[in-house]
Amino acid sequence: MSKQKDEIVEEEVASNENNEEVNEESVEEVVEVDELTLVKQQLEEEQDKAIRLRADFENYKRRVQLDKEADYKYRAQSVLNDILPVLDNFERALAVNVTSEEAVSLVKGLEMVYRSLLDAVAKEGLEVIEAEGVPFDPNFHQAVMQEKDDSKESGIVLQELQKGYKLKDRILRPTMVKVNE
DSSP symbol at 152: S
Same domain, 103 and 176: yes
Q: pTM to 2 decimals?
A: 0.65
41-55 pLDDT tens trace: 999 999 999 999 999
- Split at pLDDT 50, 70, 90, the class of 27 is low
Q: Are residues 91 and 143 in the same domain?
A: yes
Domain identity same for 65 and 118: no
**Domain final position from 15, 40, 73:** 73
Contacts 24+ apart (CB under 8 A), 87-94: 87/114, 87/117, 87/118, 87/121, 87/163, 88/162, 88/163, 90/114, 90/117, 91/163
The domain that contains 158 carries what CATH number? 2.30.22.10
Using a pLDDT cut of 90, give the percent of the chain over it. 62
Averaged pLDDT for residues 107-132: 94
Q: For the chain, what is the mean pLDDT? A: 86
Q: Based on the domain organization, do 32 and 67 belong to the same domain?
A: yes
41 or 29, which is more confident? Answer: 41
pLDDT of res. 34: 85
| Domain of 81, in residue numbers | 74-180
What 3-state class would DSSP assign to 50? helix
Indicate the number of domains in the chain: 2
Q: How confident is the model at residue 11 (pLDDT cuts 50, 70, 90)?
A: low
> Are 33 and 95 part of one and the same domain?
no
Q: Which of 36, 22, 181 is nearest to 14 (CA)?
A: 22
Strands of the 141-147 sheet, one edge to the other? 141-147, 175-180, 157-162
73, 97, 132 - which closes a domain: 73
Domain co-membership, 80 together with 159? yes
Task: Give the pLDDT confidence score for residue 171 in this predicted structure.
Answer: 94
CA distances from 100 to 89, 90, 104, 107, 113 (A): 21, 19, 6, 11, 20
How far is residue 106's CA from residue 172's CA, in Å, rounded to a whole number? 30
Residues 9 and 23 in one domain: yes
Same domain membership, residue 106 and residue 63: no
102 and 36, same structural domain? Answer: no
